[in-house]
């Protein structure tokens, strides 16, 4: 078999098997964290972006240092610091804080890692 280039790897097609997804929402695709580029209805396929820096929701009480690994808390719909205890379905080690974000801040810039993370 010959190896051939498919695409640059900054976007991934995702078929939604649940509730409607709004563009700009964090999407968990296996171990990968991505951002929906478009609205994706249940049963439809749309593009999601990976491997870039995005402003995302943050757990208000989390204290995050620049360069810290952060995890996606599925139930909160936000990133939390690496000192918190992940629950089932949360994605750890899939993103790194691009900047510090203290207690009371509700957004943080994160780099979504193309290597993905681990689902608890």
Domain segments of the chain as ranges: 11-119
Unique residue bearing structure tokens 């139930």: 75
The string of pLDDT tens digits covering residues 11-50 is 999 999 999 999 999 999 999 999 999 999 999 999 999 9
What pLDDT is stored for residue 8 in this prediction? 77
Assess contact for 80 and 41: CB atoms under 8 A.
Answer: no
Note the pTM of the prediction, 2 decimals. Answer: 0.91
Q: Dump strand ranges (E) for 2-116.
A: 11-15, 26-29, 32-36, 45-49, 53-57, 69-73, 78-80, 91-97, 107-112
Encode pLDDT of 79-120 as tens digits.
999 999 999 999 999 999 999 999 999 999 999 998 888 998
Does residue 10 surpass a pLDDT of 80? yes
């Amino acid at each position: 078999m010959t190896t051939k280039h498919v695409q640059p790897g900054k976007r991934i097609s995702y078929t939604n098997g649940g509730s409607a997804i709004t563009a700009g929402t964090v999407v968990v695709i296996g171990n990968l964290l991505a951002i929906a580029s478009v609205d994706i209805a249940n049963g439809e396929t749309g593009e999601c972006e990976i491997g870039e820096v995005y402003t995302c929701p943050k757990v208000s009480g989390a204290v995050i240092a620049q360069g810290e690994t952060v995890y996606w808390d599925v139930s909160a719909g936000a990133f939390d610091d690496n000192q918190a205890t992940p629950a089932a379905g949360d994605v750890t080690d899939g993103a790194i804080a691009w900047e510090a974000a203290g207690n009371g801040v509700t957004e943080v810039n994160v780099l979504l890692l193309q290597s993905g993370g681990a689902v608890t």
